[in-house]
């Protein structure tokens, strides 16, 4: 039995917390938003897992708490399911409690999650020798309602990577005994540049904003991905893959990822999405007021933690990313803010003063050794 602490009790957090408890592990849950924990407390510390999860049923949490320190200190493995653009704040809040012998998983890390989190831990005096892991994605296509979470689909493969590298062997054995579908990636850039969320979320969301504001329900991944929008996502993907190639790594295309994760096929991305049964029934947000778009994680999370760092890497590597840049510009215009400045730019990731070769070396060399006193 492993003592897990789940930081974030939204869709993914509720799903993995219930899943782990139903597998027989000790599970504590925390959320920075009191209402998310209050719902669990009001239901007797129980979360119900429904749908197409590997196990289903009512899971009795060992602890549901508003006290972050209590959850962190009582756990061996922490799994952070908060939005990636909150990771900086989480690192600040976790720093006083995190121990060197613990592992913290950014689930998912998006692009540069481990690098940013370790940099923030160092700035706030936290345990920089704790194992920080990022996953490429989450296992569940799911939606939470009250204290229940419905799983529409469960992915077959969850790649992960982390630092310090020498501690990953022990973690790999530990986590794969629980989740056999978690697979160790060759290095951080394999998980960070394999960020599918930045392809599926910001562009299609921005191009469907009018539809969302009209208030008519529609399936996000089915109705929201017209042939033209799917073609645009394929262009985003080709730019992502070009940056990966320039970094010296080979990654699957978004269409290949759909086949690996969900077993769906098609002659192009549009057809593959239409054939993905796991995405059917996942509704797009309905925006009742113009400011409701400010809460859309598909933009506020995936632009600064996905598109921004990939475009920044592309610029350093002299790889053109015009479609990615266009979506960033569109997001900045709609949201009247500079995501390039606030997001995971090279400075925020601690990469600004590194050479291209040093950046590539992060696949196998912990940043603390490269940055010396900076980190």
Residue range(s) defining the domain that contains residue 124: 3-185
Position 373 scores a pLDDT of: 31
Average pLDDT (184-196) is 95
Q: Look at residue 330 and tell me whether its pLDDT is greater than 70.
A: yes
Q: Structural domain tally of the chain? A: 2
156 and 203 together in one domain: no
Is 286 part of a structural domain of the chain? yes
Q: Residues 110, 185, 253, CA angle at the centre, nearest 5°?
A: 65
In CATH, what number is assigned to the domain containing residue 222? Answer: 1.10.1040.10
143 and 244 together in one domain: no
Position 367 scores a pLDDT of: 41
Is 118 part of a structural domain of the chain? yes
Neighbours of 334 (CB within 10 A): 15
Condensed to tens digits (0 to 9), the pLDDT of residues 242-279 reads 999 999 999 999 999 999 888 999 999 999 999 999 89
Residue 296 contacts residue 205 (beta carbons within 8 Å): yes
242 and 332 together in one domain: yes
Q: Look at residue 370 and tell me whether its pLDDT is greater than 80.
A: no
132 and 224 together in one domain: no
Q: Look at residue 348 and tell me whether its pLDDT is greater than 50.
A: yes
Which of 156, 185, 214 is the last residue before a domain boundary? 185
Condensed to tens digits (0 to 9), the pLDDT of residues 214-234 reads 988 999 999 999 999 999 999
156 and 225 together in one domain: no
7 and 94 together in one domain: yes
In CATH, what number is assigned to the domain containing residue 96? Answer: 3.40.50.720
Condensed to tens digits (0 to 9), the pLDDT of residues 93-133 reads 999 999 999 999 999 999 999 999 999 999 999 998 999 99
Condensed to tens digits (0 to 9), the pLDDT of residues 5-21 reads 999 999 999 999 999 99
Per-residue pLDDT band at 363 (split at 50, 70, 90): low
Q: Look at residue 138 and tell me whether its pLDDT is greater than 80.
A: yes
Position 371 scores a pLDDT of: 37
290 and 260 together in one domain: yes
157 and 240 together in one domain: no
CA 262 – CA 241 distance, rounded (Å): 21
55 and 135 together in one domain: yes
169 and 226 together in one domain: no
Lowest mean pLDDT among 40-44, 162-166, 174-178: 162-166
91 and 166 together in one domain: yes
369 backbone dihedrals φ, ψ, rounded to 5°: -75, -30
Neighbours of 48 (CB within 10 A): 17
Instruction: Using the Cα atoms of residue 256, residue 258, residue 262 and residue 264 in order, give the sign of their dihedral.
Output: negative
The residues that bridge with 131 in the sheet, in sequence order, are: 103
| Active-site annotation, residues | 201, 302
- Going by DSSP bridges, is the β-strand pair 77-80/140-145 parallel, antiparallel, or unpaired? unpaired
Q: What is the pTM of this model?
A: 0.89
181 and 201 together in one domain: no
Position 369 scores a pLDDT of: 38
Condensed to tens digits (0 to 9), the pLDDT of residues 273-290 reads 999 998 999 999 889 876
Condensed to tens digits (0 to 9), the pLDDT of residues 45-84 reads 999 999 999 999 999 999 999 999 999 999 999 999 999 9
């Amino acid at each position: 039995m492993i003592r897990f602490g789940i930081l974030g009790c939204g869709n993914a957090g509720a799903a993995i917390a219930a899943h782990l408890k139903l597998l027989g592990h000790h599970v504590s849950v925390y959320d920075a938003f009191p209402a998310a924990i209050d719902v669990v407390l009001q239901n007797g510390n129980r979360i119900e897992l429904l749908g197409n999860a590997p196990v289903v049923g009512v899971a009795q949490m060992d602890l549901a708490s508003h006290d972050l320190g209590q959850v962190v200190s009582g756990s061996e493995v922490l799994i952070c399911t908060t939005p990636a653009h909150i990771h900086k704040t989480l690192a600040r809040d976790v720093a006083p409690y995190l121990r060197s012998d613990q592992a913290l998983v950014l689930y998912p890390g998006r692009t540069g999650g481990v690098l940013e989190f370790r940099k923030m831990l160092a700035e706030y005096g936290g345990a920089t020798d704790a194992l920080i892991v990022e996953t490429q994605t989450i296992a569940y296509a799911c939606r939470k309602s009250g204290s229940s979470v419905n799983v529409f689909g469960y992915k077959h493969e969850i790649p992960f990577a982390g630092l310090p590298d020498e501690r990953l062997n022990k973690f790999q054995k530990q986590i794969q005994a629980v989740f056999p579908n978690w697979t160790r990636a060759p290095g951080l850039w394999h998980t960070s540049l394999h960020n599918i969320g930045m392809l599926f979320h910001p562009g299609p969301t921005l191009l469907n904003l009018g539809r969302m504001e009209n208030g008519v329900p529609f399936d996000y991944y089915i109705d929201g991905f017209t042939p033209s929008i799917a073609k645009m996502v394929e262009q985003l993907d080709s730019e992502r893959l070009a940056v990966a190639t320039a970094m010296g790594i080979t990654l699957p295309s978004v269409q290949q990822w759909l086949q690996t994760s969900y077993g769906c096929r098609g002659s192009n991305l549009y057809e593959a999405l239409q054939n993905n049964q796991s995405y059917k029934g996942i509704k797009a947000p309905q925006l009742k007021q113009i400011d409701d778009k400010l809460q859309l994680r598909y933009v506020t999370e995936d632009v600064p933690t996905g598109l921004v760092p990939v475009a920044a890497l592309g610029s350093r590597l002299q790889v053109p990313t015009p479609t990615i840049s266009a979506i960033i510009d569109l997001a900045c215009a709609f949201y009247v803010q500079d995501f390039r400045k606030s997001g995971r730019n090279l400075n925020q990731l601690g990469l600004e003063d590194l050479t291209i070769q040093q950046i590539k070396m992060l696949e196998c060399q912990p940043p603390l050794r490269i940055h010396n006193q900076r980190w």
